[in-house]
Chains A and B, each alone.
Chain A
Amino acid sequence: MGEVVSNSCFEVFDKAEEPERCKCKGIVLNAYNNLRADGLSEYQAIKTVVPVLQYHHPSPFLEARNVVECWVFEQSQSAAH
């Protein structure tokens, strides 16, 4: 059997112990959804909420952005199904 590759956001974001159990995910997605409702594009909304995640879990911008993009994608997939 080949190696199983995990694509979870937890693997990507190693600055926090359990980021997905932390309240920050809800806060970040809440801000993202509010900005999208205000008319911001996905690109602009993600860029704007990255500092929110960085506030809760200090990390480089690119790393934090990857996690936010992952959460946004997961949310869209959950909504689709």
Chain B
Amino acid sequence: MTELEQRCIDAGLKMTGPRKTILKVLNNSNHLSVEEVYEKAKAIDSTISIATVYRTLSMLDELDLVTRQEFNETFSRYDTNLDHHHHLIDLDTGKVIEFQNEELEKLKEKIAEELGFELVDHTLELYGRRIKKKKK
């Protein structure tokens, strides 16, 4: 059982077959539109209707288990709210280091609050080069 499924159960959601399929799709991809979730879910379970996808995503949004993002498009995209982390990209190799930093999260919320906003979402990517130790 995935963490997302467990959290749905903890929130009182009944894990029906279609819902499990939709959660599986969300776990495997980011920034999916409703139509994209529907297409991927239908490929796994042909009985899933788009109405089921809409209802499930709305429920997950209300339970704060997914985030609905409004990109510069006419529709929304959904991301799971699990395992929030950022990326540090090594400019010399392309290696991607995932990291989490509680101080950073608090700082971002503090900045938003000082500007009079409640932080809803953010993206942050770091790009760096390894510090080379000087030879003695």
Contacts and interface: CB of A to CB of B under 8 A. Distances in A.
Contacts of A51: 125, 127
Contacts of B90: 31
A27 B32 CA distance: 27
B29 interface: yes
Contacts of B94: 26-32, 34, 49, 52
B89 A40 contact: no
Contact of B89 (A29, A43, A44, A52): A52
B93 A30 contact: yes
Contacts of B127: 51-52, 55
Interface in A12-28: 26-28
B103 to A, nearest CB: 22
Given A31-B96, A35-B96, A38-B98, A55 B91 contact: yes
The number of chain A residues touching the other chain, given as a range, is 20 to 34
A41 interface: yes
A49 B89 contact: yes
B31 A48 contact: no
A34 B96 contact: yes
B30 interface: yes
A72 to B, nearest CB: 13
A48 B94 CA distance: 11
Given A39-B28, A39-B30, A27 B91 contact: yes
Interface string B98-117: 10000000000000000000
Nearest to B83: A39
A5 B31 CA distance: 35
A41 B31 contact: yes
A48 B30 contact: no
Given A31-B94, A38-B87, 11 more contacts: A26-B94, A30-B94, A30-B95, A32-B94, A34-B94, A35-B96, A39-B29, A39-B30, A40-B31, A43-B31, A52-B127
Interface of A: 26-32, 34-35, 38-41, 43-44, 48-49, 51-52, 55-56
